[in-house]
Amino acid sequence: MSATKYFTMSALNALLAIRRYLIAYPGLDAQTVARSIPTIDADNAGCDFETGIELHERISVDSAFGDPAEGLRYAIANIVSWQHPLWVRLTPYGRERVKTALTRDEEQCLRSAGLFEEPPSEAIVLWWDNLAQTARAAANDRLLAQGREAERLSLAYETARLEALQIPRKPKWVAIEDNGAGYDIRSYDTGPVEPIGRLIEVKSSTQNPPRMVLTRNEWETAVKYGDAFVFHIWVLPAEILQERTVAQIAMHVPADQGSGRWSQVEIKIH
């Protein structure tokens, strides 16, 4: 179900009304209250009580709804937690960025909850900070899953490449064992006598053109091993591999200057 169903003042006001009447008349159940309010409360007669009941059943009854704005903030945070509207991804960038992605109904809901008040109170800042922290964690989870998918693709690619080269060895998924090694996969190439090592740093991108973020540790490891080190850049979800050597990446790596020391760089792959 789309989050827009819940992000209307009609549905949220219905929820608040149901909670108020349940506090005033604890002997009644929510369904009875929802049916009764339109006949006894003209201010709330036109509310969406069907959706209000859904919200009541999903949102903890232990929460305080005495302050309407506080109740709305609590309800909105709960809706976000199970509906994951796309605008939540913008919360780490500030309220103004969020506004650009809101529907008219969504903006009205957040504004009624005091979430765009100027200047924001400590409670409002904390609400936004908590949501932004959740969004960052979710983004990190997505990036981790995307990175693992790319590593699996490289493992499969290297397994097939070694078989084609008739090298009787298997690639090793180093990143699972040691995330600080500076590379993700240890594979092999044909050598003069025995197979020689091939170290692979795996990157992934869903952008066009693809981009990769290179850390200083990864780069220093790449420079250390030189021709034995390669970069796999997977374009997802198309699963297109672009392979780059250390020399090809070197021209995009910044230099330390003065007291400045770079720690990571984003590189556009052409």
Q: Is 188 exposed, middle or buried (0-12, 13-18, 19+ CB in 10 A)?
A: buried
- Residue 2 is predicted with a pLDDT of 57
Return the CATH number of 146-268, one of 3.30.450, 3.40.1350, 3.40.1710, 1.10.600.
3.40.1350
The predicted structure's pLDDT at residue 178: 92
pLDDT value for 41: 86
Tokens matching residue 27: 């002997």
Query: What residue type is assigned to position 30 of the chain?
Result: A
In the Cβ-directed half-sphere of 143, how many Cα atoms lie within 13 Å?
10
State the pLDDT at residue 104: 95
pLDDT in tens, 222-241: 999 999 999 999 999 999 99
CA distances from residue 54 to 4, 22, 38, 47, 233 in whole angstroms, order as listed = 14, 15, 17, 13, 45
**Would you list the domain boundaries of the chain?**
3-118, 146-268
HSE-CB for 71 with a 13 A CA cutoff: 20
pLDDT under 70 in the chain at which residues?
A: 1-3, 62-65
